[in-house]
Structure 1
Amino acid sequence: MAFIVAMGMILMAGICPAVLCFPDGTKEMDIAFHEHQDNGTQDDSLTLAFVNTNFAFSLYKKLALKNPDKNIVFSPLSISATLALVSLGAKGNTLEEILEGLKFNLTETSEADIHQGFGHLLQRLSEPEDQDQINIGNAMFLEKDLQILAEFHEKTRSLYQAEAFTADFQQPTEAKKLINDYVSNQTQGMIKELISELDTDTLMVLVNYIYFKGKWEISFDPQDTFESEFYLDEKRSVTVPMMKMKLLTTRHFRDEELSCSVVELKYTGKASALLILPDQGRMQQVEDSLQPETLRKWRKTLIPSQIEELNLPKFSISSSYRLEEDVLPEMGIEKVFTEQADLSGITEAKQLSVSQVVHKAVLDVAETGTEAAAATGVIGGIRKAILPAVSFNRPFLLVIYQTGSQSILFMAKVTNPK
């Protein structure tokens, strides 16, 4: 019988009135599980961050290979946390495939530690912040006659904050509307149709959603936005609204080895955006080099310096993926989609397998940030070692990471911002 996993992610950076993206803090090592540092959870959080980064880059490479010259946007955290939740009900080879596909080494990290780590991370991200708004969570929609095991229900609730609802999947249209209305409500109407199809074999739909509202720490002035060319390749270009900021003091790094520039733009809360601009013709080189160590090197090497002028396109992109078709199987997660799936930890009543893994994401980037006063002292500064203009007028990468947990929350490739 069918079990559907669906993920909806909204990411908007600096857009008015709804600004969605993870803001950044100033302490790079503000570990998400600081309240548990005395019993070793700090090390666990760093392990989880490393593993999640490995999964994020591995998944990105698969998506980039299958979607050449297309925009890509996804939330690796949304996907990994949801699959980890599914693994709570998996056993045997099905369980091992899921966790190893998520890049965990089961000889080094126990299953209990994995779930505890995700639980702490999700709890920390759900804590209210004065400067931003985040809505992250999971929900299970269960066939009205399906009896799930009490242990699975309790663990999904306590570790993954999952709500449980009943649905009549014998009425697919009504069930689909129930699920899509729930996701639309949780994402402020930004994702309206996460589920496009259901059938009467469906017993359970698991939904993950992430919605974040935050602001740039230093906003772009809308009056400075101008029309400019964005070069899709050496022969083609499109005209886009280009945001501009002069004499910006921010952390910046020129990676000569990988032929790319890395610029950090902070948000007012507890995350940062890393904008990676490969030199012309060097995108493939940068993509091939994406490893946890690469991100660690960039974050470690970034130093505050002044950029004479920063140009960044104003854009809105979206992506939709069916990850069960080939992406996840190629990453080693296969049995859960077949009749050999062992999900007997969810229910003993019927044989379950996952029929769909749907992921939809939206990314908006625009000018709006904090008040002008918050940016005044930073944009000025002493004129020393001013770097030349950095113009994101060709395909680039965007990585949003939460500084407390050091986990990648969102990742995008912008090949055409129009």
Structure 2
Amino acid sequence: LFHRTLRPSLRHIFLLLQTVTLEKDCLKAHFEFTLTLFRSVAFVEDPKKNIVFSPLLVSTLLTPTLLTAKEYLSSLSKGNLSNSTRTLLEQFSKQVLQVLSLNDLNENAAEAWHKATVASLQDNYYKNFLKGARGFLIKEKSVTTEAGQRALTKNFGSSLKIVSQPIDSAFVLQEINMWARNKTKNKIESFIGENENFLQNKEKVLLSAAFVKPFWLNDFDPKATFQKGLFYPTYRDRFEIPMMISRLKLPLGYSPSLEARVLEIPFKLRRASLFIVLPDHMEQPLSALESNLTSENMRTLLSTLK
């Protein structure tokens, strides 16, 4: 899970790395995808807003689109598929592999990684603190062939929802928000706002919702917790939440090139951790640090933890 958070005097970037049993190349590719996705989102989002998303859920949402294209291609003979359509599907597959940073691999490797990731999300350890949902919303009759519909159903399963009304209609918007509330047990009340316009003229939409409830290795101590700590969702807005003050011995690292420190706060059993990246110059915008969060720089930074 990636999270950019802002406060008037201190701005952090949170990185939650989940340990998943995967092939080394796929794990390396996912790490690259995670950082590329974060930089892309940070670039287009308002720098004064928080960002939170799960690269793990996004990748497991994109991979079924790749498998659907593969399934569709294999189910049809050349005589039933025009050369232009075949070329388009093949190009689409290459693009998805490239987005997932799996372009040095193939669809079979992507499928194996997808199955391993989905299986890991069912592990009780991760299942208890990461409440995630993936969905594919599609307008009725936008897929015109039976082979295409079969491929969608096979790869998306129960996450596939077909709607008859325009995707940007008030009814569908309400359905999407209800879906997010149900999947996250009411932790996400408004998934898409009424004034959002990115759904206009869309026939297919991929949806991903996530809620994290971590179990810390060092539990909150009620005696050391201040009930009226301040949290800033934006530069101007704030609300009160319990905050604990504690003296802990935790791994700390530093990168002179990034001009940033990294602090590791482990979760229970040490199977996952929260990594907090703290820039030296807190008065400066995060954009400089965010643009330099490459996989090479992050590996170097994490290697200094001690």
TM interval, shorter chain, is 0.5 to 0.7
Q: 1:99–1:256: structure 2 CA closer, same or farther, 3 Å change rule?
A: same
Q: 1:22–1:128: structure 2 CA closer, same or farther, 3 Å change rule?
A: farther
**1:230 & 1:168 partners in 2: Cα distance?**
42
TM-score, with structure 1 as normaliser:
0.51
The 3-state SS of whatever aligns with 2:124 is coil
Partner residue, 1:336: none
**1:183 & 1:88 partners in 2: Cα distance?**
25
Deviation at 1:298, TM superposition (A): 3.4
How does 1:353-372 map onto structure 2 within 5 Å?
none
Q: 1:94–1:239: structure 2 CA closer, same or farther, 3 Å change rule?
A: closer
In the alignment, is residue 117 of structure 1 matched against residue 113 of structure 2?
yes
Deviation at 1:173, TM superposition (A): 3.4
In the alignment, is residue 267 of structure 1 matched against residue 267 of structure 2?
yes
Considering only aligned residues, what root-mean-square deviation do their CA atoms show, in Å?
4.0
Q: 1:72–1:139: structure 2 CA closer, same or farther, 3 Å change rule?
A: closer
Deviation at 1:184, TM superposition (A): 0.9
Partner residue, 1:175: 172
Percent identity for Structure 1 against Structure 2:
22
Equivalent residue letter for 2:41: L
**2:246 & 2:200 partners in 1: Cα distance?**
58
In the alignment, is residue 184 of structure 1 matched against residue 187 of structure 2?
no
Deviation at 1:167, TM superposition (A): 2.8
How does 1:394-405 map onto structure 2 within 5 Å?
none
**1:254 & 1:243 partners in 2: Cα distance?**
26
Deviation at 1:264, TM superposition (A): 0.6
In the alignment, is residue 151 of structure 1 matched against residue 151 of structure 2?
yes
Q: 1:285–1:203: structure 2 CA closer, same or farther, 3 Å change rule?
A: closer
Equivalent residue letter for 1:289: N
Maintained 8 Å contact 1:22/1:271 = no
**2:178 & 2:187 partners in 1: Cα distance?**
11
Q: 1:125–1:76: structure 2 CA closer, same or farther, 3 Å change rule?
A: same
Equivalent residue letter for 1:95: S
**1:241 & 1:193 partners in 2: Cα distance?**
21
Deviation at 1:290, TM superposition (A): 1.5
Maintained 8 Å contact 2:135/2:208 = yes
**1:126 & 1:49 partners in 2: Cα distance?**
18
How does 1:246-265 map onto structure 2 within 5 Å?
246-265=246-265
Q: 1:185–1:301: structure 2 CA closer, same or farther, 3 Å change rule?
A: same
Equivalent residue letter for 1:264: E
In the alignment, is residue 128 of structure 1 matched against residue 124 of structure 2?
yes
Deviation at 1:302, TM superposition (A): 1.6
Match of 1:54 among 32, 50, 63: 32
TM-score, with structure 2 as normaliser:
0.67
Equivalent residue letter for 1:102: L
Equivalent residue letter for 2:40: K
Partner residue, 2:279: 278
Q: 1:259–1:228: structure 2 CA closer, same or farther, 3 Å change rule?
A: farther
Q: 1:222–1:111: structure 2 CA closer, same or farther, 3 Å change rule?
A: same
Equivalent residue letter for 2:170: T
Maintained 8 Å contact 2:255/2:300 = no
In the alignment, is residue 63 of structure 1 matched against residue 63 of structure 2?
no
Deviation at 1:250, TM superposition (A): 1.6
Higher-strand-fraction structure: 1
Equivalent residue letter for 2:266: K
Deviation at 1:111, TM superposition (A): 1.4
**1:47 & 1:267 partners in 2: Cα distance?**
26
How does 1:69-108 map onto structure 2 within 5 Å?
69-90=48-69, 91-105=89-103, 108=104
Q: Deviations over 1:325-370 (max 9, x none)?
A: xxxxxxxxxxxxxxxxxxxxxxxxxxxxxxxxxxxxxxxxxxxxxx
Q: 1:177–1:284: structure 2 CA closer, same or farther, 3 Å change rule?
A: closer
Q: 1:258–1:169: structure 2 CA closer, same or farther, 3 Å change rule?
A: same
Maintained 8 Å contact 1:264/1:274 = yes
Equivalent residue letter for 1:113: A
Deviation at 1:187, TM superposition (A): 1.0
- Which consecutive residues of structure 1, in runs of 5 or more, have no partner in the other structure? 1-8, 12-20, 34-41, 304-418
Equivalent residue letter for 2:275: L
In the alignment, is residue 295 of structure 1 matched against residue 298 of structure 2?
yes
Maintained 8 Å contact 2:15/2:276 = no
Deviation at 1:228, TM superposition (A): 8.5
The 3-state SS of whatever aligns with 2:101 is coil
Maintained 8 Å contact 1:64/1:72 = yes
Q: 1:170–1:286: structure 2 CA closer, same or farther, 3 Å change rule?
A: closer
Equivalent residue letter for 2:277: I
Deviation at 1:144, TM superposition (A): 5.1
Number of equivalent positions: 260
The 3-state SS of whatever aligns with 1:295 is helix
- Which consecutive residues of structure 2, in runs of 5 or more, have no partner in the other structure? 4-13, 70-88
Equivalent residue letter for 1:126: Q
If asked which structure has higher relative contact order (CA below 8 Å, sep 6+), I would say: 1
Partner residue, 2:206: 206
